[in-house]
Structure 1
Amino acid sequence: MNSKYFYKSALALAVLGLAACKPSVNTTVPSKGTADFTRYIAVGNSLTSGFADGGLYLDGQKNCFPGMIAEQMKTVGGGSFTTPFFADNQANGSGYLKLTGFNANGTPQTTKETSNLAYRPGSTTFFTRYSGDINNYGVPGIKLIHSTIAGYGTLNPYYERMLTDATLTTPYLNFVTSKPFTFFSMWLGNNDILGYATSGGAGDTPTDKALFTQVYNLVVSQLVKGGTGGNGAKGVVATIPDVTATAFFRTVTLKSILAAVNASPGGAGVTDLYIKPGTGAARKATAEDLFTLTLLSDRTIGKPDATGPYGLAPTNPIENQYVLDKDEVAVVNDYVASYNATIRSVASAYNLALMDANAMLKEYGAGKEVNGALVSGAFITGNLFSLDGIHLTPMGYAITANGFINAINAKYGSSIPIVDVTKYRGVKFP
């Protein structure tokens, strides 16, 4: 006890001390509430698998948010939880980006880890297969609409590594529900818009809204049954984050590019960048246009060719794949809003917990202190996003785990302890 005052009488001090320091117990006894966490499974994509730094590797898998949740669930009756880890001698999985230093202008230097990968001998596509029980069914690259496709295992090596020859054509939804479970988390749908956004609107097409609603309802209707032989399951679903608010789109900006150009030899006085939007002719970029994180690593602004300096002349504009123009930003926002409306509606219809990942990542992305650690969406220094600018750091995944835990506790009256976020790192420095 720390006293603010000095008392001359030792007796008075002793008496006061006894009264003031009477033990006060204010602890919460862990409780499962109305849920059963005996067998928890996690359904989702790369964010569920622990994907980070542009790859799936063992350290990322060990820091996946479902694993963190499952560990906390053990205090309220949760059972064992297995993630399909890569073997120690193939710990680098698909390979991943490592920060190796910084250039004189402060931009980061990264390299791709290429040792101890998990590819099968003679293949650069398919991984060594995993055998054993699975609770974490996170599959990088999977869309919601892929979950019911027979033969999807032949198209996605991250899913294929979980299968055998006999189950190779099994749809993802059938696979995750092939065993009984009592509780699930589901975070699918991100990739139904992500590819369109990260390609600058030049590649993938967003999933049709009506189809998204149809498949989302189907998947949840099967999960709440609790799997083959199950007696029903409760669970938590999550909204889709706004990809335009990630470090992938908020690091390379019109202002930062122009500043770099003007600071370079012969670049003084440049006031405009030119882009090729999704539709129409080349035009001047505005602050409403978002540039991809990959622009400056792939292209050199101002580099001359026969059509003029790259990005500085309307005859040689920045290609559409490196910029999500303002009209494409509006498309992304529209689809994210529609998908999230579906997710909220289905969560309500099936009486499930809802984790608003969209709001959560915006809140932390704007800057927030967590147990003395500052978290923000700033690339590298913000602790939230990994080196690919989309996926999270271990600290970011711990924050996500707490978002899920808080949603579960609020819905089911449980008291699962939250994760100590400060035990997990941000971007790993060299």
Structure 2
Amino acid sequence: MKNLKKYIPLVAMSISLAACNYEFPETPTVDPTSGGADFSKMVVLGDGIAAGFMDGALYNRGQRNSFAVQLAEQMKAINGGEFNVPDINSGNGFFGFGPNNIPLGRLILRTSNGSTAPAPIGQGELPGPYSGDKAALNNFSVPNMTLGLALIPQTGGPDVPQNPAYNPFYARFASNLGTSTPVGDAAAALANGGTFFTLWLGSSDVLGYAVGGASNPSILTSEGDFTGRYSAVLGALLQASPEAKGAVANIPNLNVLPYFNLVPWNALPLDAQTAAFVNSNFAEYNGGLQQLEAMGAITAEERALRTVEFQAGQNGFLMSDEALTDLTQFGLPSIRQSNSSDKATLPLSQALGQSVNDNPQLIRGVSFPVEDSFVLTSSEQLEIQNSINLFNSIIEGAVQANSERLVLVDVNDLLDRVLAGQVNSGGQSLTASIIPPNGGFSVDGIHPNGRAHAFVANEFINSINAKWGSTIPLLNPNAVVGNDLPIQ
């Protein structure tokens, strides 16, 4: 197995780029009126999307192009006031740490060896404290914030190992570190003359579980916790300003996100010689499965599912699957090859085919099974989608219970239509991909890019206008740049 690694190249997503440009037609505007709502002071509470988190980082351009900022700008045409965000003051943001513990900046599309894949732009900056007037803020959205984190002071600190709730993005603008909460700060801003708010929380309560391959069940919010926490968050905003109206968004479906669709299930390329060599190493394992089938320990269907057989060309990768029958008493692991029902996560593009712990005998996806954190099985996908459906029904019920003051913004439906190719502006479509110029997701494959945020803002505007008879002018999404074109 020691020479196998040279046959397994680093797997990257091949992205076909044709006629990439940003010369889109403009969208006409209408004469605005405020209708039955007051937009003189809008307060926004949400997670990374509302904060403008894009490309795996919070950085200047992402903040400026968030739907919240774009929506507030359109409201100024009626009676909308200033909209202040906790400026990050970072051109590249912070994605993670590289060699020598150097901070790396946001993701970009980079082309190498004929394929294009996300990669850090270069050096980044850790988020520093907000130096502006915290009392004047309008946007209290925090990347990676669940409903539970929105309600507890530990989210703001202290930053110690025994405080897993700590979020540096909130700590940088919290009104009182270790005492205040994101919900409390937003409610205080509403109480201080607030007239309108948007709430878009809940996605992180299920997405954090999904992006980790459903490997940590403890971070998936339960139905009871979601119900209670959502009621507490929404109630705090409604009570802070009894006359304020609000727009509430729901959670997108799992299958819309490129993060789970960019790495194909059969992403492992092997030549005939390598496939034959690997198969010889699994001959004893496959024989053991046949014996266990004959004993009645497993069915013929499970034996076929667990059989490992590579071939020349593209292959399903070797992976762990805890849902398989436990055969450890017979000395057989719970492994199989991936199939079309599995969804690989984006980080697998960098891990597949690489040695584990620099051991040339252990090649991830070939001789070493891909870990649970890199893959969603069909049962895990169903579990996640069921949670999304349940959480969305809770959100919808909360809006209906306060229908005089609230409107539901069905972003879930919007993105489903994007996936179906049914959303466009001026004849230029928005796609559920990261491919410029029409791709609507930023390079991290999870968060919308600036152009998609304009479509989201328009969805808010259409819902608000229909509810209260306002005529907030729509944005021209084609005037907002999406993802940058790839660089070498």
* TM-score, normalisation: structure 2: 0.74
In the superposition, relative to structure 1, how do residues 393 and 27 fare at CA in structure 2: closer, same or farther (>3 Å)?
A: closer
- Equivalents in 2 of 1:358, 1:387: separation in Å? 20
Identity of aligned residues (%): 30
- Equivalents in 2 of 1:348, 1:263: separation in Å? 60
Q: Which residue of 1 aligns with 2:219?
A: 205
Structure 2 residue 45 is the aligned partner of structure 1 residue 43: yes
Structure 2 residue 317 is the aligned partner of structure 1 residue 273: yes
- Equivalents in 1 of 2:345, 2:198: separation in Å? 30
The 8 Å contact of residues 251 and 392 in structure 2, kept in 1 or not, is answered as yes
Q: Which residue of 1 aligns with 2:409?
A: 355
Q: Which residue of 2 aligns with 1:21?
A: none
Structure 2 residue 201 is the aligned partner of structure 1 residue 195: no
Shift of residue 218 of structure 1? 1.9
**2:188 counterpart (172, 178, 184):** 178
The 8 Å contact of residues 129 and 163 in structure 1, kept in 2 or not, is answered as no
Question: Which amino acid in the other structure matches residue 141 of structure 1?
Answer: N
Structure 2 residue 340 is the aligned partner of structure 1 residue 287: yes
Helix, strand or coil for the counterpart of 1:353? strand
Q: Which residue of 2 aligns with 1:224?
A: 238
Shift of residue 106 of structure 1? 2.0
Question: Which amino acid in the other structure matches residue 191 of structure 1?
Answer: S
Structure 2 residue 374 is the aligned partner of structure 1 residue 372: no
Q: Which residue of 1 aligns with 2:111?
A: 102
Question: Which amino acid in the other structure matches residue 149 of structure 1?
Answer: I
Structure 2 residue 196 is the aligned partner of structure 1 residue 143: no
**1:312 counterpart (351, 366, 388):** 366
- Equivalents in 2 of 1:210, 1:358: separation in Å? 22
Cα deviation 1:389-422 (Å, max 9, x = unaligned):
0011100111111111111111111111111000
- Equivalents in 1 of 2:468, 2:109: separation in Å? 45
- Equivalents in 1 of 2:230, 2:391: separation in Å? 9
- Equivalents in 1 of 2:29, 2:375: separation in Å? 51
**1:63 counterpart (62, 65, 72):** 65
Question: Which amino acid in the other structure matches residue 338 of structure 2?
Answer: A
Unaligned ranges ≥5, structure 2: 1-27, 96-104, 158-165, 276-310, 325-333
Cα deviation 1:119-147 (Å, max 9, x = unaligned):
45xxxxxx455434111111011101222
Cα deviation 1:21-68 (Å, max 9, x = unaligned):
xxxxx9853121111111111110100000000000011101111111
Shift of residue 91 of structure 1? 3.6
Shift of residue 159 of structure 1? 0.6
Q: Which residue of 2 aligns with 1:20?
A: none
Q: Which residue of 1 aligns with 2:56?
A: 54
The 8 Å contact of residues 55 and 108 in structure 2, kept in 1 or not, is answered as no
Helix, strand or coil for the counterpart of 1:47? helix
Cα deviation 1:147-168 (Å, max 9, x = unaligned):
221332111111111125x453
Helix, strand or coil for the counterpart of 1:107? strand
In the superposition, relative to structure 1, how do residues 54 and 27 fare at CA in structure 2: closer, same or farther (>3 Å)?
A: closer
In the superposition, relative to structure 1, how do residues 336 and 104 fare at CA in structure 2: closer, same or farther (>3 Å)?
A: same
Q: Which residue of 2 aligns with 1:159?
A: 170
Q: Which residue of 2 aligns with 1:235?
A: 246
Question: Which amino acid in the other structure matches residue 324 of structure 1?
Answer: L
Cα deviation 1:327-357 (Å, max 9, x = unaligned):
1101101100110000000011011111111
- Equivalents in 2 of 1:109, 1:211: separation in Å? 35
**1:400 counterpart (453, 456, 460):** 456
The 8 Å contact of residues 146 and 202 in structure 2, kept in 1 or not, is answered as yes
Cα deviation 1:79-113 (Å, max 9, x = unaligned):
111111123xx443335334363133423252244
Shift of residue 378 of structure 1? 2.3
Unaligned ranges ≥5, structure 1: 1-25, 121-126
- Equivalents in 2 of 1:50, 1:307: separation in Å? 43
Helix, strand or coil for the counterpart of 2:152? coil
Helix, strand or coil for the counterpart of 2:153? coil
Shift of residue 383 of structure 1? 2.0
In the superposition, relative to structure 1, how do residues 246 and 261 fare at CA in structure 2: closer, same or farther (>3 Å)?
A: farther
The 8 Å contact of residues 189 and 240 in structure 1, kept in 2 or not, is answered as yes
In the superposition, relative to structure 1, how do residues 312 and 321 fare at CA in structure 2: closer, same or farther (>3 Å)?
A: same
Helix, strand or coil for the counterpart of 1:235? strand
Cα deviation 1:246-286 (Å, max 9, x = unaligned):
0000111114x14x446998772564432212443112322
- Equivalents in 2 of 1:408, 1:109: separation in Å? 36
- Equivalents in 2 of 1:349, 1:50: separation in Å? 29
Matches within 5 A, 1:336-355: 336-351=388-403, 352-355=406-409
- Equivalents in 1 of 2:273, 2:374: separation in Å? 22
Question: Which amino acid in the other structure matches residue 396 of structure 2?
Answer: R
- Equivalents in 2 of 1:223, 1:105: separation in Å? 51
Helix, strand or coil for the counterpart of 2:77? helix
Question: Which amino acid in the other structure matches residue 349 of structure 2?
Answer: L
The 8 Å contact of residues 103 and 109 in structure 1, kept in 2 or not, is answered as no
Q: Which residue of 2 aligns with 1:168?
A: 178
Helix, strand or coil for the counterpart of 1:362? helix
- Equivalents in 1 of 2:273, 2:417: separation in Å? 36
In the superposition, relative to structure 1, how do residues 80 and 273 fare at CA in structure 2: closer, same or farther (>3 Å)?
A: same
Matches within 5 A, 1:110-129: 110-115=119-124, 117-120=125-128, 127-129=129-131
Q: Which residue of 1 aligns with 2:93?
A: 93
| More divergent stretch after superposition (46-55 vs 367-376) | 367-376
Question: Which amino acid in the other structure matches residue 369 of structure 1?
Answer: N
* TM-score, normalisation: structure 1: 0.83
The 8 Å contact of residues 45 and 141 in structure 1, kept in 2 or not, is answered as yes
Q: Which residue of 1 aligns with 2:473?
A: 417
Cα deviation 1:170-229 (Å, max 9, x = unaligned):
12211111133110000000100111100001135210111111111122122123x3xx
The 8 Å contact of residues 277 and 323 in structure 1, kept in 2 or not, is answered as no
The 8 Å contact of residues 302 and 312 in structure 1, kept in 2 or not, is answered as no
In the superposition, relative to structure 1, how do residues 128 and 285 fare at CA in structure 2: closer, same or farther (>3 Å)?
A: same
Helix, strand or coil for the counterpart of 2:397? helix
